[in-house]
Amino acid sequence: MKEATKRSIFRWIHIIFGIPIIGYIYDSPTDTPNYAWSIRYVIFPVLLISGLWMWKGHVVRRLLSKRTKTATKTAQQLEA
């Protein structure tokens, strides 16, 4: 999968999961407790993770690729 496609998927996930927060903020206070748990435990964590991945995902991928290279080198050294 191309990097541009991955970015587009994360961008749309971030946008779609951000829409209910607008409703949470601007809805009447009497209706807010009905869906507050879904905002707190589902929507906000997905929004947070997708935003962080779009911001610093390249750093995480670089660290993981270095870690797998080191793990394969140590595994090859143990076999030899």
CA 11, 17, 23 angle in degrees (round to 5)? Answer: 135
Burial of 50 (0-12, 13-18, 19+ CB in 10 A): buried
Structural domains counted in the chain? 1
pLDDT in the model for residue 67: 75
pLDDT tens digits in sequence order for the chain, 80 residues long: 888 898 899 999 999 999 999 888 888 888 888 888 999 999 999 999 999 989 998 888 888 888 777 767 666 666 66
Convert the pLDDT of each residue in 11-20 to its tens digit: 999 999 999 9
Query: What domain range is 75 assigned to?
Result: 3-79
Annotate 37-68 with DSSP letters as a single string: HHIIIIIHHHHHHHHHHHHHHHHHHHHHHHHH
- State the Cα–Cα distance between residues 50 and 8, nearest whole angstrom: 11
Instruction: Copy the structure tokens of residue 53.
Output: 């991945």
